[in-house]
């Protein structure tokens, strides 16, 4: 499923990013089910960090999550792993500045959604030139999920990109919870991407529903 820009802006509204290390022992399939019930609009399988599954086990979990997303018409994106995106027939792939060269990913997946992480206007411009469909901009706030995250730039980072002429769909990421979500959306993001605000919540369903309500209020 390759979305038009407006559809992509809508899909980015509440973007859950997750792998098994983010679920504190809970079953990622159950966490994703709850998050879908709560109203997430897009999902990224990011199997990274301490204790991450590899090889066949990672692929098997990805297949389950992919299937769940397909059943609920939630776009399914794979983080970084081009082979996995192909194997799972993902709707898209998200790459960082250090991951597989964006141009190569774009060439390889003409029909898929390509997301690229961008931390400043210069990176946003080069991601745009590489053919990104959307940009992930972060970290908005301090995060404990990504140990090698860059310096916190706050929602002002989004404002600078918009003022710099970036019209592409943008999603803010990094430390976003119910308290910080509105500022990110008002800063110019089409949506919020979260890991722990949903996966570490007592009720991932309620956490997703609360975030969705904030998005709906502003969008
Ligand atoms: N990328 P949480 S921050 C995956 O700044 C990721 O590019 C970031 O996790 C970036 O919502 C981040 O738990 C982690 O803070 C986001």
Q: Name residues contacting ligand 1 (CB within 6 A).
A: 17, 117, 136, 138-139, 143, 145-146, 149-150, 173-176, 194-197
Show the tokens assigned to 143: 């995060």
Contacts of 16 (CB under 8 A, 6+ apart): 32, 35, 40, 42, 43, 44, 193, 194, 195, 198, 199, 208
Instruction: List, in order of start, the domains of the chain with CATH numbers.
Output: 5-218 (3.20.20.70)
Q: Which atom of ligand 1 is nearest to the CA of 150?
A: 5
CA atoms within 13 A on the CB side of 152: 11
Query: Is 146 among the catalytic positions?
Result: yes
**What mean pLDDT do residues 155-164 have?**
98
Q: Is the pLDDT of residue 87 over 80?
A: yes
User: What's the mean pLDDT in 58-62?
Assistant: 98
Catalytic residue among 9, 20, 66, 117: 117
> pTM for the complete prediction?
0.98
Ligand 1 pocket: which of 49, 132, 143 to mutate (most atoms <8 Å of CB)?
143
Cβ 3 vs Cβ 11: under 8 Å: yes
What is the token pair recorded at 6?
A: 């407006």
79 is annotated as contributing to ligand binding? yes
Supply the pLDDT for residue 97.
80
Centroid of ligand 1 to alpha carbon of 137 (angstroms): 9
3-state secondary structure 154-175: CCHHHHHHHHCCCCCCEEEECC
């Amino acid at each position: 499923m390759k979305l038009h820009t407006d559809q992509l802006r809508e899909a980015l509204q509440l973007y859950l990013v997750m792998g098994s290390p983010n679920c504190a022992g809970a079953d990622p399939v159950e966490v994703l089910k709850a998050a879908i019930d709560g109203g997430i609009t897009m999902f990224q399988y990011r199997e990274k960090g301490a204790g991450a599954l590899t090889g066949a086990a990672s692929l098997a979990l990805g297949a389950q999550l992919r299937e769940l997303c397909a059943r609920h018409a939630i776009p399914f994106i794979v983080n970084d792993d081009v082979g996995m995106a192909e194997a799972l027939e993902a709707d898209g792939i998200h790459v960082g500045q250090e991951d597989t060269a964006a141009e190569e990913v774009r060439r390889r997946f003409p029909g898929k959604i390509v997301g690229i992480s961008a931390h400043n206007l210069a990176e946003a411009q080069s991601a745009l030139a590489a053919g990104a469909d959307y940009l992930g901009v972060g970290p908005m706030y301090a995060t404990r999920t990504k140990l090698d995250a860059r310096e916190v730039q706050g929602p002002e980072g989004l404002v600078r990109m918009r003022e710099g002429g970036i019209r592409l769909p943008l999603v803010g990421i990094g430390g976003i919870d119910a308290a910080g979500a509105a500022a990110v959306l008002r800063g110019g993001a089409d949506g919020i991407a979260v890991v722990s605000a949903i996966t570490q919540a007592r009720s991932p369903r309620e956490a997703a529903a609360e975030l969705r309500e904030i998005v709906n209020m502003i969008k």
